[in-house]
Amino acid sequence: MSKHTDTSKLWGGRFTEATDQFVQRFTASVQFDQRLAEEDIRGSLAHADMLCAVGVLSEEERQQIHQGLGQIREEIADGEFQWSVELEDVHMNIESRLTQLIGNTGKKLHTGRSRNDQVATDIRLHLRSAIDLIGAELTRLQRGTIALAADNCDTIMPGFTHLQTAQPVVFGHHLLAWNEMLERDHGRLMDCRARLNQSPLGAAALAGTTYPIDRELTARALDFDRPTENSLDSVSDRDFAIEFCAFAALLMTHLSRVSEELVLWTSAQFNFIELPDRFCTGSSIMPQKKNPDVPELVRGKVGRVNGHLVSLLTLMKSQPLAYNKDNQEDKEPLFDTIDTVLGSLRAFADMVPAIRPKAEPMREAARRGFSTATDLADYLVRTGLPFRDAHEVVGKAVAHGVASGTDLADMSLATLQGFSPDIGADVFEVLTLEGSVAARNHLGGTAPQQVAAAAGRALARVDARS
């Protein structure tokens, strides 16, 4: 054999010179894919069991592989495993160490599979576990949000459009709007999990294998619903990673919207809520500052998650079937998305239930900005006035209020009747904040009794998951 042959490579038989040292470092993935070590070992154990079941391995060889992989698992857990860039990736590092430990039997483990189906299996296993953790944190956030809403069914605040005071609502109603976003996110996450839960193991490099493998057996062993159908697609598909990142981008967008409201509401200009000190930081120069860093940071992190989604879409857009080295670039964006989503959800699940609403400043803000103007228009419509005419009447009343600095509810009956003789003494029942929210007494409305019922339904949906 030539002295230039790359004997360190498990695939080096047909090569006549060693890999360039820079290329070796450039093409290696072990720096980040070692994160898949547990899934790689789990997949290898299932593969060894299957090879034994179909007669490719003996029972003694199967036991040797189990023992060797068990030792490797312990070495990795204890931080004693020696990762090598020369061995390129997590798969080769583990296989090489296995061969060191148990000899030639270790070389038999790769029978009937390829790194192509091996990594596809590992990523699906890893992402499935991550989805389960994310689902639990998302559910925890929803429970906290719903509980806070149930405690604030009659806490009045202004509702906004264009960030201008629009109509009064109750704080619980606003919180349940957050929960509706999160509920849709949870549904998308579970849809993603259902589609990824198919086993590509056995597709080998791209065409399957000549060995008498049992893909149903390995799929069951790894808790997949079933094997994938097509070997070409099995090794080249990354739809599940893209779909997860799409879910993550939407979830983070929702958390960013919530973050923006939290940042506004904690400001002195709004003063609607207070966040506990443990979720805030101070200023190095301004001693009075209490900065809402957690929501600000989550609001900022949506950019990196959106970027990862675009990265994966771009990665896949021009790849011919089947596997290509491009797909090595799928892991870092996926891993970072997992970490970012988990961290953001954990922070929010801890923080949201600890929000302390300030009822009086909220109520005072709702009194400003003529938030019951629509109620006055609706009142006039009920007297028989066409809505457009009612709209004009109320607009003139509001203009008078702006000029005089008087809210509609504070105007005298005589003043209001100057805009329309159809206005009676009972008008003040609809011009109060309590009257306004109570009048929205229908499914999806902001009436306190409707909000309490909606919180109950939302909690029941969450409880039904377990």
CATH assignment at residue 380? 1.10.40.30
Catalytic site includes residue 412? no
Given 91, 162, 318, 404, the catalytic residue: 162
267 with 401, same domain: the answer is: no
- Residue 6 confidence (pLDDT) above 80: no
The answer to whether residues 142 and 169 belong to one domain is yes
| pLDDT at residue 421, rounded to an integer | 93
Considering the domain architecture, whether residues 254 and 393 belong to the same structural domain is answered as no
Residue 203 has pLDDT above 50, yes or no: yes
The answer on 67 and 202 residing in a single domain is: no
Examine the domain organization and report whether 159 and 256 are in the same domain.
yes
**pLDDT digit string, tens, across residues 394-452:** 999 999 999 999 989 899 999 999 999 999 999 998 899 999 999 999 999 999 999 99
Percent of the chain at pLDDT exceeding 70: 96
- Write down the mean pLDDT value for the chain: 94
Q: Select which of 4, 283, 318, 404 is catalytic.
A: 283
Instruction: Label residue 11 by pLDDT band (50, 70, 90).
Output: low
In a domain, 22, yes or no: no
Q: Which residues contact 444 (CB under 8 A, 6 or more apart)?
A: 450, 454
In a 10 Å sphere around its CB, with 0-12 CB exposed, 13-18 middle and 19+ buried, how is residue 414 labelled?
A: exposed
Domain C-terminal end among 111, 140, 168: 111
The residue with tokens 């299996």 is 121
Give the model's confidence band at 5: pLDDT under 50 very low, under 70 low, under 90 confident, else very high. Answer: very low
Same-domain status, 37 and 78: yes
The single-letter code of the amino acid at 252 is M
**Are 217 and 323 within one domain?**
yes
Number of domains in the chain: 3
| pLDDT at position 16 over 80 | no
The single-letter DSSP state of residue 291 is B
Provide φ and ψ at 157, rounded to 5°: -145, 165
Domain that holds residue 443: 369-463
CA distances from 69 to 88, 120, 155 (A): 19, 20, 59
Residues 167 and 436: beta-carbon distance below 8 Å:
yes
Q: Which residue reads 């009676």 in tokens?
A: 424
| DSSP codes joined into one string, 172-200 | HHHHHHHHHHHHHHHHHHHHHHHHH-EE-
The answer on pLDDT for 371 being more than 60 is yes
pLDDT, residue 2, reads 34
Determine whether 4 is exposed, middle or buried from the number of CB atoms within 10 Å of its CB (0-12, 13-18, 19+). exposed
The pLDDT of residue 20 is 77
pLDDT at 25: 79
| pLDDT for 40 beyond 80 | yes
Q: How far apart are CA 327 and CA 199, in angstroms?
A: 18
Q: Are residues 448 and 384 in the same domain?
A: yes
CATH code of the domain containing 75: 1.10.275.10
As a three-state string, the secondary structure of 332-394 is: HHHHHHHHHHHHHHHHHHHHHHHCEECHHHHHHHHHCCCCCHHHHHHHHHHCCCCHHHHHHHH
Per-residue confidence (pLDDT) for residue 290, from 0 to 100: 87
pLDDT at position 228 is: 98
| 283 catalytic residue (yes or no) | yes
pTM, entire model: 0.92
> Do 149 and 270 reside in the same domain of the chain?
yes
258 and 407 belong to one structural domain: no
- What integer pLDDT is reported at residue 93 of this predicted model? 97
